[in-house]
Structure 1
Amino acid sequence: MIRTSRRRRRSDGAARRVFQLAALFTFVITVLIIGTLAVDAWGFLSKLADTPDGLGSLTAIGWFPRRGLYDIGTLVVGTLIVTGIAMLVAVPLGLGAAIFLSEYARPRLRRYVKPLLEILAGIPSVVLGYFAIAVINPDIVVNLFSNASKAFTLMAAGIGVGILTIPIIASVAEDALRAVPHALREASSGLGAKRSQTTFRVIIPGAISGIVAALILGMSRAIGETMVVAIAAGAVGGGLFQLTPLQPGQTMTGAMAALGFGSDQVAGDNLAFESLYFVGLLLFVMTFLLNYLSDRLVTRFREVY
């Protein structure tokens, strides 16, 4: 017994050290990423301050790095437009799918539908990007809006990103809905409530923390999507500040992809390439704040059963 107890303590200690090393490794990698982005972003700002236009280039008209125009507002607004359209597509469809699978679908049907959502999540984003310019833009956007660009639009990119975001929202929200105790459903039915009343007045309020987390995770996914935006939004060489989603545009991830791939605006201008670190730092801050907000909201509205 004593020998077995010692062996168990040694194995527990070894497992604890392995998990500690894994957590430390994750922390170190995160710090290195943040540090690299911060140092290189500061280097970009320092070099930009020494140019004739100085930091005023950050508020210039449009994002054209090779010309020395680094209007970050153009990228932020383009990102928000794409994200907003994506959420308009993904939220109703994702939540609708989650509610159906959790409360209305029969077990046999759920076994078939749930894998289909997972397959949708596994579609390569580059494939969906070409689907956006081959189908979504010409057959949907152009037909609905006569003044839309025939080739590339931020709206087509947003719809494509929304399709990619649906499985995330649906999966996380469904898990939250199914985590609500079945006793609450039985109690509501025992009081004479219809299934729809139980769903919207009991189940959804009981799962609100998980639903909020699903929405914010979906938003983070939409903000960070790259290939669909890089292909479907157009404006690879840069873009002017605009508020319409019916024209080509530039987003933060799209600009980083173009710079990282060695596209035209990088050629012959090292400062243009270094701007991607500044954009990457801003993108990291945005997604970090969204994830932090998600964690706070989940803690704030969490139901204890």
Structure 2
Amino acid sequence: MKYKLIAIDMDGTLLNSQNIVSKKNSEALHKAKEQGLYVILSTGRILTSALYYGQAIELGDPIIACNGAIVSSGNGDNILYDKSIEVEASKELIKLAEENHIYYHFYDRDTFYTREIKDDVVRFYDSYDDNLGDHKMNIEVLDDPVKFLDRKPSIYKFVFIDNDKEKLLDFRMKLSYINGVEISSSWENNIEVMSSGISKGYGLKYLIDTLNIDKSQVVAIGDNENDIPMFKISGLSIAMGNGESTIKENADIVTDTNDENGVAKAIEKHVLNI
């Protein structure tokens, strides 16, 4: 078989609008595994959430979380690679967000830190949190996030959210002047920041080098800007029909939407040839 590994984004890609992996998508992933392919979840989500989904659909393969800042074994027992944001850079990120009145939260491996509870964000996490079991995510509200950073926690990703697109674009430009960070986005109203050089592409390259797989043997499937670096480390890049125009412009193929089993259709047609 030409391909040896499939890297798949979660939100807007593998998951439908109800944050569920459809039966058809799950069956396609297992058909690929039966043919000897690695099936890798590659997500911007916090590690504990990615582990839950990986185990719920019984993949067992390594997981790329926090946009490539963490590469973990499928059961979460071994961290194969990780790179957190430097404390001083994190403090600058917080200062800039507060000066510009931009909502933010940040992650370590299993805890979501915020200064305020934002209802739509909490609803997003609540949509799956009740089912996480051993991988339940913690939420900690911080009175003084900067002081908290003095403990030197391992923070892997910041998320900034604002529905004013012009304000968010201006904020993104200001973020670009902070040293030691990588900037991306996974949704029209957010900006995601990791440590410098970190992306899903970096995490994927680390993994395929470890597994001795050439990038020509990799299939990547995604729906947004943060998936583009993953496309560059693949022999076949597939954008979702519901994806942003920028991801479609960088893809070899466009499949159906996440509510139309686009992942399953792409795998069956272009990987399994059925």
Higher helix share: 1
Structure 1 length normalisation: TM-score? 0.23
* Higher share of residues assigned strand: 2
Q: Which has the higher contact order (CA 8 A, sep 6+)?
A: 1
When the two structures are superposed, what TM-score results if normalisation uses the length of structure 2?
A: 0.24
